Amino acid sequence: MGLPSAELPDLETVELVRSPFVALLPDGHALSALPEVPLELLAAESWIDPPHGFGHRVLLERALTRAGLVREVATEVSAVGDIPAFVAAG
């Protein structure tokens, strides 16, 4: 579901997989040369993200809030599998 099990107290949860957050960047983007990209630098970029309520978006927005950062979501895409094509298009 993408949310911490502590936030789902009425459900039994089983962790199936754990995966890192990654940033998709278009070819030639200046940040793509970095081995790791600080959240502060990513927050300054325009984002393509799923709509509010998607698990990873909720977690990311919390991390940004904790860090005192604000970002711009330029485009919302409900089909997460379409995001790479939007990123590649710039």
Nearest CA among 20, 26, 38 for reference residue 74: 26
Please answer whether residues 70 and 43 qualify as being in contact, where contact means their C-beta atoms are separated by less than 8 angstroms.
yes
Distance CA 25, CA 65 (A): 22
- Contact indicator for 60, 42 with CB cutoff of 8 Å: no
- Give residue 3's identity as a one-letter amino acid code: L
pLDDT at 67: 97
* pLDDT tens, per residue, the chain with 90 residues: 566 666 667 877 777 888 788 899 999 999 999 999 999 999 999 999 999 888 888 889 999 999 999 999 999 999 989 999 999 988
Which residues have C-beta within 8 Å of that of residue 62, sequence separation ≥ 6?
Answer: none
Domain boundary assignment for the chain:
22-88
- pTM here is 0.73
pLDDT of residue 16: 82
Secondary element (H or E) of residue 13: none
